[in-house]
Structures are given as structure tokens and as C-alpha cells.
Amino acid sequence: MKVLYWPRYSNPYQDLFYGEDSPAFSSEAKTIFDAIEVLVKNPSETVVFHLHWLNFLFNGKTPEKRERTVNTFIGACRKFCEAGGTLVWTVHNLAEHDKLETDLEMSLRKELCRLASALFVHGYAAKTAVIESLPEAEGKIHNVVHGHYIDCYPNTVPNKTARAIVGLFKPATVFLSLGWIRPYKGLNDLCSAMKSLGDGSNKAELVIAGKMRPIDESYFDDLFANARNFRIHEGWVSDENVQTYMNASDFMVLPYRASLTSGAALLSFSFSLPIIAPNIGSFPELIQDGQNGFLYDPDEEGGLQKVMERAIATEPEARSQMKRVSLDTALIHDWDDARKAFINVIDIAIQ
């Protein structure tokens, strides 16, 4: 089986998902047009085109160019399937974050669902949500585990050193937001909750680290203005420096308003870092409230603030136990299980 996947992302997710090549299975990043060429040259081989994210079809294009790009892509997918190729799709989001062309995107998703021999998601709640959005997915959508990131990033900087590097010198509970600084991530809710902690704000620090797009700068300038105990580290976080922010922190906060899959949750657990997140999407499948993090209702007024106060009030011994449970949670999410399930589903689909 030759799996050609697109698009290629720089984070470890795809390398871990596909693993090492073997005589029976190989993977390579290729476009749909490359996949057609490979199929034509190897008509007796099982060629699978594995689609991941759709944003590359939309971002940085005019409305006219988006429509042409989508139509060309769908036409190529049809040609690939008609020539005997197998199309599969991992649905990472219910909709692209920027929501540039909602009608065009929905028609694309419906056609991909029709063409695909199988769809994949990471989580049972995600499976239900995709079927609700795309009823055509019923019967061909499968849940596969999202693996952990233990040993994927350096992890040698101890807590005290990491805090000094980040600029944290007082004994405070450190909340972390790591990754792209984007409006859809719910940072407005997080910043509001942090500002509303009252007396608790003297015992808490919020670290926000990641890259910001120029188009979002004015939005976040207003959001971060007059904020107490905020540490804003704007810029790309290298693989080497992920450990610095993780190990300097007490809790990762993922205050999303909508979430289908969160690789950030598995990354956090891989660094023994408990998570604060809303009780939506896959989070309740991963987080046991009070064991490896805290859950809150995103529709409850002050809900995020309340769980942050719970986190601040958590005693050191209980925090240490939460870190142990967080790492244990990561360990049971194995990429080998995901890969075996993925291959098994495709084998059945092409029979």
C-alpha cells in the first residue's frame, strides 16, 4: 500500500502517524496531481491519497481564485478515484478557522465525503459531530486514536530554570497558551478570565507564546492592553523551546469555543502538563475533571474564571498527582494503534 498524503505540515503529527516505511506500507507527501501520476505508472499497486487539512485551498487567494482552486482540486480527486485510486480523508476541523468561503467549503466537504472510501477522526465526539454536519459520512467514518508526543521534543530544562528563562520569578500559578495567537482560539475569554481573577490574580501569571499574524496585531494589542501578570512572547516557538514554556507552567489553557480535535492536548499531556478546557469536542474524552485537568462549561458566565480559581487553589501534592495522571494519559494514546486501525480500515474498504 502506497499512501500519498497532503498537505504536508512541519509538526511531527504526520511522521508519527505514518511511522517508518515497510515493504507492505509506505507514505510520502504528494499532491493529488502527483497521486494521479503515480497511479498511472503503477496501475496494479494500491495507491491511497490521504487528505488532511483544506485550508491550503482557500488561504491567500481571491474569491475567484478560491473557486477555481477548489473546482480543479475536486476534478483531480474524481479523476484519481475513477482511475482506481482510493481517497481517504482525516477530518481535523468541522470548518476552516478563517471561514472565508462557507458555501464553497461545504460543497467541497460534501463532495469529498462522497468520493472518499473512508473518513477518519480523532475522537468519538468528533465522529458524531462530523456525521451531524455531513450525514453522508455515516457508515464510512472511523475513530482512530491521536497519539502522544513523548520524546518528540527535547525535555531537559527543569521547572526552575524554565521559569527564569520565561521571566517568572514570583511563586505564582502559571497558566499557558502555546501556539498560534489567533482569534478563534478563545484568547479573549482567557484574557478576560485572567483579568477577573481578583485577589487570585496576584497568585497567577498568564504566559501567551506563539506566532501572530500581522492582520491580528491590532486585535491583540487591544486585548492585552492594561493586563496584569501577562507575559506575551510573540514569535515562532522552536521545537527546542517548547519544553521551556511547558516546563515553566502549571496548567495549559485551551479555551476554544469550538473544537473537533486538539493535538495541543496530547502535546500538553506529553509534558505532564494538566489542561483546562471547555467540556466540548474531544476534551471530555481526554480530561478527567480534577484528575488530569479541569473542565468548564463555555456557556456559563465566569466558567473559565472559576476553574482557573480551582487550579490556583490546588495544593502542591494534588498538582504533582495531576502531572502524573497527565503523563499516564499521554502514554495510553499510541500511534501504532492509530496506524494499524488506519491500514485495516483501508484494507476493508478496497476489498
**How do strand 47-51 and strand 2-6 relate by DSSP bridges?**
parallel
Q: Residue range 222-226: average pLDDT?
A: 82
204 lies in a domain?
yes
Measured in degrees and rounded to the nearest 5, phi and psi for residue 143 equal -90, 125
| Amino acid 230: pLDDT | 92
Q: Rounded to whole angstroms, how far apart are CA atoms 66 and 207?
A: 36
Rounded to a whole number, what is the distance in angstroms from the first to the last CA of the chain? 13
Same domain, 280 and 339: no
153 lies in a domain?
no
Cα separation values, 267 from 43, 104, 147, 262, Å: 40, 33, 9, 9
Cα separation values, 166 from 190, 197, 201, 240, 261, Å: 19, 22, 18, 14, 28
Confidence of residue 222 (pLDDT cuts 50, 70, 90): confident
| Amino acid 143: pLDDT | 97
**Cell numbers 472510501: residue:** 117
Same domain, 133 and 178: no
For residue 192 the three cell numbers come to 478576560
| Amino acid 257: pLDDT | 86
| pLDDT at residue 98 greater than cutoff 70 | no
326 lies in a domain?
yes
Per-residue buried b or exposed e for 172-200, using 16+ beta carbons within 10 Å of the residue's own CB: bbbbbbbbebbeebbbebbbebbbebeeb
Q: Rounded to whole angstroms, how far apart are CA atoms 76 and 78?
A: 5
Confidence of residue 309 (pLDDT cuts 50, 70, 90): very high
Q: Are 329 and 8 in contact (CB under 8 A)?
A: no
Half-sphere exposure of 98 (CA within 13 A, CB side): 14
| Amino acid 126: pLDDT | 96
- CATH number of the domain at 238, please: 3.40.50.2000
Confidence of residue 99 (pLDDT cuts 50, 70, 90): low
Locate all alpha helices (DSSP H) within the chain, ordered by sequence.
13-18, 32-41, 63-82, 102-115, 124-133, 159-166, 187-195, 217-224, 239-248, 263-270, 283-286, 303-313, 316-331, 335-349
Q: Degrees (nearest 5) of the Cα angle 202, 205, 207?
A: 165
Same domain, 209 and 278: yes
pTM: 0.94
Per-residue buried b or exposed e for 240-270, using 16+ beta carbons within 10 Å of the residue's own CB: ebbbbbbbbbbbbbbbbeebbbbbbbbbbbb
Same domain, 228 and 307: yes
Confidence of residue 97 (pLDDT cuts 50, 70, 90): low
| pLDDT at residue 100 greater than cutoff 70 | no
Same domain, 142 and 19: yes
Same domain, 139 and 44: yes
Q: Residue range 186-205: average pLDDT?
A: 86
- CATH number of the domain at 96, please: 3.40.50
152 lies in a domain?
no
| Amino acid 129: pLDDT | 96
Three-class DSSP category at 329: helix
Half-sphere exposure of 172 (CA within 13 A, CB side): 23
Same domain, 9 and 78: yes
Same domain, 168 and 104: no
Q: Rounded to whole angstroms, how far apart are CA atoms 46 and 308?
A: 51
For residue 175 the three cell numbers come to 497558566
Same domain, 173 and 125: no
130 lies in a domain?
yes
Same domain, 92 and 123: yes
Higher pLDDT: 279 or 258? It is: 279
Per-residue buried b or exposed e for 56-75, using 16+ beta carbons within 10 Å of the residue's own CB: bbbeebeeeebeeebeebbe
Q: Residue range 263-278: average pLDDT?
A: 98
CA 172 to chain centre: 28
| Amino acid 237: pLDDT | 97
Same domain, 290 and 311: yes
| Amino acid 20: pLDDT | 94
Residue 226's domain comprises: 159-331
Q: How many distinct structural domains can be found in the chain?
A: 2
Mean pLDDT over all residues of the chain? 94
53 lies in a domain?
yes
Percentage of the residues of the chain whose pLDDT score is greater than 70: 97
Q: Are 89 and 120 in contact (CB under 8 A)?
A: yes
154 lies in a domain?
no
Q: What is the pLDDT of residues 104-155, one digit of tens each?
A: 999 999 999 999 999 999 999 999 999 999 999 999 999 999 999 999 999 9
**Cell numbers 495549559: residue:** 252
89 lies in a domain?
yes
CA dihedral 159, 163, 169, 171 (to 10 degrees): -50
Same domain, 190 and 55: no
